[in-house]
Structure 1
Amino acid sequence: MKKNIAIMLFFISIITYSQSDFRKGFIINNDGEKLSGFLNYKENSSVFDYCEFKTSLEATSKKYTPQLIKAYGFENDKYFISKEITTGSITETKFLEVIVSGIATLYKAEKFYYLQKDDVFKELENREIEYTSNSKNYRRASRKYVGILKVLLKDCELVKNKIDRTNYKERDLSKLIIEYNKCKGQKSIVYKEDKEWFKAEYGGSFGYSNSTMNYEHKSTKQLFFTTNSNPSTAISFGGHIELSSPRISENLSFFTGVFFSSNSFINSNQSASGNNNYLNEVTTQLKQTKIPFGIRYRMPFKFISPYFTIGGASATNISSQTHWVSETLTNSTVIIESKKFDISNISFGIYTSIGFEKEITKKLKGFIELVYENFSLNNSHTYTSSSAQLITEEYNSTVTHLQIQIGIRF
């Protein structure tokens, strides 16, 4: 299990480290001159510290800090300006993303928002504060931004009445500032206006699964003991949905779906001692309806987009059992001892995947991916003893699925 995860994480780290995504854009130097070219599109905190710009795709890129240029931006997309901000006693120059521009302008730097109106530039504070209640210490968001907005936007009564219901999120703050600018007779400039706030993609896939079952049976009877099964191969299939907000992030999405697989695991051994011959067999029938869920990160390469998913999964185990059988042949006498263990209806585990996606048409994509799943199972056998007592035997096992999936999404 650890080996499989390590291999997947190795490929993920290589892909993530090597990616770059240069798109059409521009920089504005300190003399106010606009230079067109290509900017490396990123979705991490470094966008507020520097940009990577080159005049052509073949040219070598150069880093520009907020001290070297006034602004940079992408065509019909994000726009950043150099601005001095103060946090506590620290003053520094950063690139701030311009979310909405107008009479009132909304900026963003990492997880913090700023507002400028006329000559006033203020952080919309919402940092955590500590407070005490019933002799216990707690932490909560300060919501100081509510008071700041009420002061700066007080000349529009319609907007002012909505401030208390405005959450500290880009969508909520953007909507409020756009309404304020409209109230004051000016249309706002929204640089990411062409990007959706919400997007859903659907898909289906089928694949080939190689699975193993590890038993952790603690019975003192060695005839019922085995550590693992022989591998089981099967066809798996299902459908999925990806939910994302391109306005916030092009590369991150929430992934979930429903998948079905059916496996048979068999392990047997023969032995002999004196006049006795033994045949021991363990058979597990496992039918699973699986619901994976996790965060998917997609790398926007030009022709093929790699992606990886990290999360968990739940599984409904349908009519699943493990059957332990021991046959002892002594001379002409056969003694058969058997137990049936029911597998718990619900189990939980981990889910990871790494894949490659290719655009087929504008609305249709094809993909191939490697999926790793690991579930913990509880197995129980209940019987009535000779003294009429109800006795339950239990043990745990784990099942690991390694799958190659091929599918489409739209």
Structure 2
Amino acid sequence: MKHRFTLLFFFFSFSVLAQRDFRPGFVVTASADTLRGLVHFRENRRELCLFKANAGSAIQRFTVETARSYGFTNDRTYEVLPIRPDSSAPETRVFAWVLVRGKAELFEVDQRFYTRKAGEVFALRTRMKDVYVGNRWYKAEDREYERLLATFLLADCPTIQLADGGGVAYSNYALTRLFEVYNRCTNSTLALPTSAKPWVKWEWTAYVGAGSQSLHLFSYKNGAEGTLSSGLGPVFGLQGGFSSPRMSERLSTHLGVFYSQFLLSDTQETV
């Protein structure tokens, strides 16, 4: 007896890659000397920078006390920034990721955003608050950062109308685009350190191969069992990978589909 089976598989995966590489870059020391060489690439390092003059050199460690900034060629730049994540938290100095330079500058630290204008640093904060509506309590987002941007930090650009319902999402992409618009609007010198990287990147991979299948069957009713097996059959697949190199090189999402068809026949049967 022969049976034809068509198999269609879908899969979804989320990848997180480790980062242990040194890349061409620079360090600006606390005394304003610029060292060029290789810098250890790690996206979320807040308080330490590892530097080598060349591939064979010993590693030098720089902290927020011994360096002003560091960065990578045509890629990310980090600068020492005094921040206060919450209004009640003490001020700390960290290496902040520079997203936008200009009259109003934008930084990111641990997925929180900060801006600097006229030498003063401001935290762009969002929080959840309780709202009482219709005899019920609800959780609602309080976008404190929008009020700060609309009424003070970006108020001198008529193109930006956050106060009139033109809200902006609390995200790397949305805020970067907003600060880019502001600095162009005010004729400021604009710099986007990671502009060479795309916001969105797709990668496609096709698969063609061959495989075989076997299927073991057993009946609890009468004790019959048997095995169905096939010869070689074709296998086709397509996988798509999505990532945002400008925001993170570590994270990517994959979606794929595989198709195969096999003709299975009995190899044995016992009762």
The two structures have a TM-score, normalised by structure 2, of 0.80
1:223 is paired with a residue whose SS is coil
Query: Which residue is equivalent to 2:95?
Result: 95
Query: Which residue is equivalent to 1:56?
Result: 54
2:42 is paired with a residue whose SS is coil
Query: Which residue is equivalent to 2:109?
Result: 109
Query: Which residue is equivalent to 1:189?
Result: 191
What does residue range 354-373 of structure 1 map to in structure 2 within 5 Å?
none
Which gives a bigger RCO, structure 1 or 2 (Cα 8 Å, sep 6+)? 2
1:236 is paired with a residue whose SS is strand
Asked if structure 2 preserves the Cα contact closer than 8 Å seen for 1:212 and 1:265, the reply is no
Distance in 2 (CA, whole Å) between partners of 1:249 and 1:129 is 30
* Match status 1:158 vs 2:156: no
Q: CA deviation at 1:201?
A: 2.1
Q: CA deviation at 1:224?
A: 4.5
Cα gap change, 1:130/1:59 in structure 2, threshold over 3 Å: closer, same or farther?
Answer: farther
Distance in 1 (CA, whole Å) between partners of 2:40 and 2:212 is 40
Query: Which residue is equivalent to 2:11?
Result: none
Distance in 1 (CA, whole Å) between partners of 2:47 and 2:22 is 17
2:159 is paired with a residue whose SS is helix
Instruction: Give the number of the structure whose alpha-carbon radius of gyration is greater.
Output: 1
Distance in 2 (CA, whole Å) between partners of 1:62 and 1:140 is 47
Distance in 2 (CA, whole Å) between partners of 1:29 and 1:125 is 30
Q: What is the CA deviation profile of residues 151-194 of structure 1, one whole-angstrom value per residue up to 9, with x for unaligned ones?
A: 21111111235883321121211111111111211131100011
1:145 is paired with a residue whose SS is helix
Query: Which residue is equivalent to 1:198?
Result: 200
Q: CA deviation at 1:126?
A: 1.6
Query: Which residue is equivalent to 1:390?
Result: none
Query: Which residue is equivalent to 1:241?
Result: 240
- Give the unaligned 5+ runs of structure 1: 1-11, 271-277, 279-410
- The residue type equivalent to 1:98 in the other structure is V
Query: Which residue is equivalent to 2:169?
Result: 167
Asked if structure 2 preserves the Cα contact closer than 8 Å seen for 1:146 and 1:164, the reply is no
Query: Which residue is equivalent to 1:84?
Result: 82
What does residue range 9-408 of structure 1 map to in structure 2 within 5 Å?
20-43=20-43, 45=44, 47-88=45-86, 89-133=89-133, 137-150=137-150, 151-161=152-162, 164-209=166-211, 213=215, 220-224=220-224, 234-263=233-262, 264=264, 268-270=268-270, 278=271
1:154 is paired with a residue whose SS is coil
Query: Which residue is equivalent to 2:12?
Result: none
Asked if structure 1 preserves the Cα contact closer than 8 Å seen for 2:236 and 2:258, the reply is yes
Q: CA deviation at 1:36?
A: 0.7
Distance in 2 (CA, whole Å) between partners of 1:214 and 1:27 is 63
1:90 is paired with a residue whose SS is coil
The two structures have a TM-score, normalised by structure 1, of 0.55
Q: What is the CA deviation profile of residues 271-306 of structure 1, one whole-angstrom value per residue up to 9, with x for unaligned ones?
A: xxxxxxx4xxxxxxxxxxxxxxxxxxxxxxxxxxxx
Asked if structure 1 preserves the Cα contact closer than 8 Å seen for 2:83 and 2:121, the reply is no
Q: How many residues align?
A: 252
